[in-house]
Homo-oligomer: A and B are copies of this chain.
Amino acid sequence: MSKDLDETDRFQPRFDSSGLITAIVSDARDNAVLMVAHMNAEALRLTQETGLAHFWSRSRQALWKKGETSGETLEVTEILTDCDQDVLLLKALPQGKGAACHTGRRSCFYRRLDGDRLVFTDAPRLFDPKTVY
């Protein structure tokens, strides 16, 4: 891997052919991974400017302020990048009810793989998605 990417202080986010970079959000308090989404340059700029996580919705093909509908915004405390600068890691303080997932759970990662089946963890729903969306 090029030293141009991994030992530099020059930020060179490697957006993919669609202009997007993968963004992981973890809870700044305990590092729990909450969600994964994508950012374009504009979403990243807005996140830095406002301190609230913005993404690019691939399904809606639109800029997306996280929590705009649900109130479940994410206050970003730190943005890190990885050695080859093709992933961002946002550390955030969840606002609202603290449910980053559209299902109303704290984290999108609420099922673990057991063989070829998924087992639900005991993550409670912090809101009812039927009343929010």
Identify the A interface with B (CB < 8 A): 1, 6-11, 22, 24, 26, 30-33, 35-36, 48, 59, 78-84, 87-89, 101-103, 108-113, 115-121
Q: Which of B79, B112, B113 contacts A112 (CB 8 A)?
A: B79
B81 touches A118 (CB 8 A): yes
A78 to B110 alpha-carbon distance, docked (Å): 12
Known: A118-B8, A118-B10. A26 touches B31 (CB 8 A): yes
How many copies, total? 2
A82 touches B35 (CB 8 A): yes
Instruction: Kindly provide the distance from the CB of A117 to the nearest chain B CB, expressed in whole angstroms.
Output: 5
Instruction: Kindly provide the distance from the CB of A52 to the nearest chain B CB, expressed in whole angstroms.
Output: 15
